[in-house]
Amino acid sequence: MSEGDPGPTEWGDGKVGLGPWAEEYPELNVPTDERYDQELLTAGDRRNVVDHYRYWTREAIVADLDQRRHPFHVAIENFEHDANIGTVVRTANAFLAAEVHIVGKRRWNRRGAMVTDRYQHVRHHSDVATLVEWARAEGLAVVAVDNVPGSVPLEKVELPRECVLLFGQEGPGVSPDARMTADVTVSITQFGSTRSINAGVAAGIVMHSWIREHAHIE
């Protein structure tokens, strides 16, 4: 972490969305900056975005996010259109991951993403080998996340700053090929009776662990 790193999202006053610009800001002229969507300025903006991006076009929001994305990636093995994938994409957007990688089936269940995939770069890989080849070329460590023998407790390991966090399907977890090719496999320490936790929850925990180690949150 350095002083020049981007900080966290600044939330507004708690309102969910804004009405037409003329009603919200009657004392101000309607913006003509190309970042703004003229239809949203006229009708209001109730999208699932923070207030800083109200009335902006989707393209402008993505371009602004691209200037400050974190250097970690998230990959998800997609065997059966797991409903958790949408949740993982939504969380990756919240923590400003560089990119989300869908491994396996190209189609995935977008319902849980709550349209945040519109602002998050998503790339497809046919299999784990293709993902790992891409990661190696980009100089990224591959960190598999699974509660299996030989894994390193997440609480005792320092996550690489530039990495791919690789998650498996709900139930079977990370595939054997993924564990074999990963640089390290980490597990989330549990204390109850269940064998594993929800894949979407696990992804959020690991992403936030990266944030705690590397993001500028002051």
Q: How much is the pLDDT for 3?
A: 58
CATH of the domain at 126: 3.40.1280.10
Helix 199-214 vs helix 84-94: crossing angle, to nearest 10? 20
Q: Is the pLDDT of residue 13 over 60?
A: no
61 in a domain, yes or no? yes
75 forms bridges with which residues in the sheet?
101, 166
Beta strand ranges found along 33-183 (DSSP E):
72-78, 99-104, 122-125, 141-145, 152-153, 163-167
16 in a domain, yes or no? no
CA-CA distance, 61 to 209, in Å (whole number)? Answer: 26
Q: Is the pLDDT of residue 51 over 80?
A: yes
Residue finishing a domain among 10, 44, 66: 66
Q: Is the pLDDT of residue 11 over 80?
A: no
The answer to whether the beta carbons of residues 125 and 99 sit under 8 Å apart is no
Give this prediction's pTM: 0.88
Same domain, 37 and 110: no
Q: How much is the pLDDT for 204?
A: 97
Q: Is the pLDDT of residue 161 over 60?
A: yes
pLDDT in tens, 54-113: 999 999 999 999 999 999 999 999 867 667 899 999 999 999 999 999 999 888 888 888
pLDDT in tens, 100-118: 999 998 888 888 888 899 9
1 in a domain, yes or no? no
Q: How much is the pLDDT for 112?
A: 81
Number of domains composing the chain: 2
Q: How much is the pLDDT for 206?
A: 98
Higher pLDDT, 131 or 113: 131
Q: Which residue has the tokens 């609480």?
A: 155
Q: Give the residue numbers spanning the domain of 58.
A: 21-66
Q: How much is the pLDDT for 2?
A: 58
